[in-house]
Chain A
Amino acid sequence: MIVLNINGESRSVDVPDDMPLLWLLRDVIGLTGTKFGCGIAQCGACTVHLDGAAVRSCVLPVSAVGTKAITTIEGVGASAVGKKVQQAWLDIEVVQCGYCQSGQIMSATALLAATPEPSDAEIDVAMSGNICRCGTYVRIREAIKQVATGKKVAPQTIPNEAPAAATSQVLSFVRVESVA
């Protein structure tokens, strides 16, 4: 029996020691927001936090977790930074298929929690372990900067909970990024 701290709750699980944390979360606990993409720590879809640090859960045996606090995408919104990251993801509309985005958000939150105002290079380093097949990288970069600066750095989407009548704005929609 292993006792783990997952999203602030203590969970006792009876699984093989060598089971990667990913499969414990997905197939035993039922927290399926953490995704399987490659199984060899190449794509980052399985990223979770251990005491706030981003780790790839697909290659992390449960026996190696110890007493460290595990945070998954289901729990990351409980932190102020995590919540801001999720909101920026929606405001800029980063997401396409969404499959990799749990991992992207976990990596971005870990970055911003440790480095509130990351440079472009720091963003690249922290986020280059997360593959997005839909190619949302431009907006990931912008969403991180939006959280870091608190400023609207890119065109914002109109939330669809807003009344239809209140959406009479923005006809030209052109995003221009400066040359890096």
Chain B
Amino acid sequence: MNVRFDKPLGEERPDNPSRREALKMGGLVVAFLWLGGGAKVLGRAAAQGPVAAGDAAFAPNAFVRVGTDGSVHLVMPSIEMGQGAYTGQATLLAEEMDLGLDQIVVEHAPANRKLYANPLLGEQATGGSTTIRFCWTTLRQAGAAARTLLVNAAAAKWKVDPAQCTVARGVIRHEASGRTVGYGDVADAAAQLPMPEKVQEKDASAFALIGKPLRRVDTAGKVDGSLQFSIDLRVPDMKIATVKACPTFGGKLVAVDDSRARQVPGFVAVLKIADAVATVGEHFWAAKQAMDALDITWDHGPNTQFSTEQLFKDLAEASKNGTPIPGKEVGHVDGAKGKAVEAVYQLPLLAHATMEPQNAIVHVRPDGCDIWTGTQVPARCVDVAAKLTGLKPETIVVHNQYMGGGFGRRLFEDPVEQAVAFARQVSYPLKVVWTREEDIAHDRYRPAYYDRIAATLGDDGKPVAWKHRITSGSVLATFAPGAMGKNGMDADAIECAADLPYEFPNVKVEWVRHDMPEGVHLGWWRGVGPVHNVFVIESFIDELAHTAGKDPLEYRRSLLQKNPRALGVLNLAAEKAGWGKGSLPARVGRGIAVAAPFGSYLCVIVEAEVSPQGEVKLRRAVAAVDCGVAVNPNTVEAQVQGGLIFGWTAALYNGITLKNGAVEQHNFNDYRMMRINETPALEVHLVDSKETPGGIGETGTVMAFPALFNAVFAATGVRLRSYPIDRSALVQGADALKAVVTQASDHGAAKEGKV
């Protein structure tokens, strides 16, 4: 992500930490406080202490805890939602401390912005594919500082030069004398030493862990059911609730008749807040049965006329008559001479649909509040709980948990806020679990976009002018208003559009802001700004190649001559996919896309088949990835595989539509997910790169859309500029359509007799 949450991108930090202070806090300035004591696992009370040091003997910075028994706890600033962040972070720390991953206990960081804010985002948040990018420096320095102090303590004890000592698996050894001592035995002494002015991270040639496909630290408990997500936790005396918010955005709760609900076995209570109702039971089934038995009256509010049709009408109008904010301007696009090409792309709202539905356990007491949940923004959860309860923030503890998927959804604390609003009405701990229907109907949706894009092609077919006007709502404007540019720009809206991998002589990129009606919430969605822009740009580049009569690969190659890393992945993917080789059957095509999102370079080639009835099947996909040093190549591959499938799922099936101010989709029956039988053969090839690591978690999703749509074009000659894929536009002819109706009717599936 190329945005910050604390201030506009590009502004200098006023506070420039000294090197030594930075080492203590891993890049952040705070007072250093050592709590001392024996070696104990971080306790609840200590978990939010000033440096979250717990009782560890040696806590040189916010991330490392060494006990006198030799136990090493690493406190993870980025959360784990499946992307492998814990393993990546632990690998960086363990590498510098010469530990094995098995010697480490990983801990969720407590809510504490001073210690655990992501320096790239300016907030304690996990998102934007930033974890490895910031931890590459922050955690390696933290680990190197810890190792240096521990070795110095041992060397002082032995009265030898620290440079003559080596470390293996947490055991310090003085080579000349053969003496050894464990980290735990010098933890107390190390804690008394002054922080060194600077430490040296390992040279890449000495890496023992980085670059290896090490098994993840979190998976053993995920194959036997023992690892608990927050939805699995059971707190003493807890009751379980489910909720229903007004289905119409911006609506309010008027009245609830709970007479039938009270008959449900296991019923406990009905709770109300301004826009939602909760039913509480001894178990979820009672809560759900009671919810279904409620008779609820809503005031549907101001948005009852709002629909998807209206949304795109408004966006088109804003694109035409709104005030564009300049994003990038090079030369003069309007004077360019040549062949003009232009197109309009429209992208839908999207839901996250994490497999683990939204949930939180909240216990509000007169003296404090405990929150058990899985969140990408723990400090924001404290903020909302403090605001709602009036409790002091230091009495509110967020017990963060492993997340059953995040994808940006858990960057929004609204489910926690809602759970607190209900829980403060009762004395017992309240577990609030959303149904899937609630999750789909009350998400923070990926914005809808309306893009007008145009190019003028010179005699050689290459663009001499490139003009891109993006129109959308702004996630950033509501998520972090202070981070909007001084000219009103949302850096996320133009990411990967203002910084194209191609170099054109005349470029104009601009954004028109069009806010959603009050109550319709937008959110970060895997791939954020780039997932929109790269689809439009790489589809349009394909259109230009076609107009110029050039092969899409050759066309891109000719435009990327000054971008060696982009060219590298382009050529690698083309070679592995056998681009241009062999003949493809009718209605089978290959599509290519290349981009540089999140500091990494990717090229993806998709081979797709379109049936005469318009059904799209992915046959094969090849991805080439240059993400710099791959801290864990297995994780990189997994993220690209999964990211692609996440994107193809949306391309094939997804789009949140609104009618009368409410979402029309409900569950996985009408908000479909790709399944294993639809998954193509999928190859991921990594470039052996020594560059600084780029982001990876969202990159596959970004690439998925244009590669697939370009393949569909190659297969059919039909250019689709929106999704989900419109099958009716891909039907080969009227006869083909008839065929599918007959076929479907034979299986009893086509109830209305039409497609």
Contacts and interface: CB of A to CB of B under 8 A. Distances in A.
A45 B213 CA distance: 28
Contacts of B628: none
Interface string B619-646: 1100000000010011001100111111
Interface string B255-293: 000000000011000000000000000111100100000
B91 to A, nearest CB: 9
Interface stretch (B1-9, B451-459, B666-674): B666-674
B82 interface: yes
A167 B686 contact: no
A19 B668 contact: no
Interface secondary structure of B, over-half rule: loop
A147 interface: no
B674 A135 contact: yes
Interface in B357-380: 357
Point out which of B211, B576, B674, B679 has the most chain A C-beta atoms below 10 A from its C-beta. Answer: B679
A37 to B, nearest CB: 5
Interface residues of A, number: 81
A23 B638 contact: no
Interface string A23-58: 100111011111111111011010000000000000
Nearest to A45: B355
B215 interface: yes
Contacts of A150: none
A29 to B, nearest CB: 10
The DSSP consensus for interface residues of chain A is loop
A130 B574 CA distance: 33
A174 B645 contact: no
Contacts of A112: none
Contacts of A60: none
A160 B212 contact: no
Contacts of A89: 219, 223
A39 B436 contact: yes
B683 A177 contact: yes
A134 B673 CA distance: 11
A111 B284 CA distance: 30
Nearest to A32: B232
A178 interface: yes
Interface string B160-172: 0000000011000
Interface stretch (B51-59, B96-104, B327-335): B96-104
A137 B675 contact: yes
B436 A37 contact: yes
A93 B668 contact: no
Interface string B667-692: 11100011111011111111010000
Interface in B339-364: 353-357
Contacts of A132: 355, 676
Contacts of A73: 224-225
A36 B219 contact: no
Interface in A118-149: 123-125, 127-128, 130-141
Contact of A137 (B211, B231, B643, B645): B645
B404 A99 contact: yes
Nearest to B404: A99
Contact of B356 (A16, A20, A99, A173): A99
B688 A171 contact: yes
B81 interface: yes
A56 B30 CA distance: 51
B681 A178 contact: yes
Given A136-B642, A171-B211, A93 B634 contact: yes
B156 interface: no
Contacts of B298: none
Contacts of B649: 135
B433 interface: yes
B227 interface: yes
15 contacts: A16-B265, A23-B284, A32-B225, A32-B234, A36-B284, A38-B667, A39-B288, A40-B436, A72-B225, A95-B223, A97-B354, A136-B641, A139-B641, A160-B215, A171-B688
Interface of B: 81-84, 94, 98-102, 168-169, 208-209, 211-220, 222-229, 231-232, 234, 240, 265-266, 282-285, 288, 353-357, 402-407, 433, 435-436, 576, 619-620, 630, 633-634, 637-638, 641-646, 649, 667-669, 673-677, 679-686, 688
Query: Which 4 residue pairs of A and B lie closest in terms of their CB atoms, listed nearest first?
Result: A33-B225, A97-B82, A135-B645, A99-B404
Given A40-B436, A99-B405, A180-B619, 12 more contacts: A23-B285, A28-B283, A35-B404, A36-B284, A37-B356, A99-B82, A132-B355, A135-B642, A160-B100, A165-B168, A174-B685, A180-B681
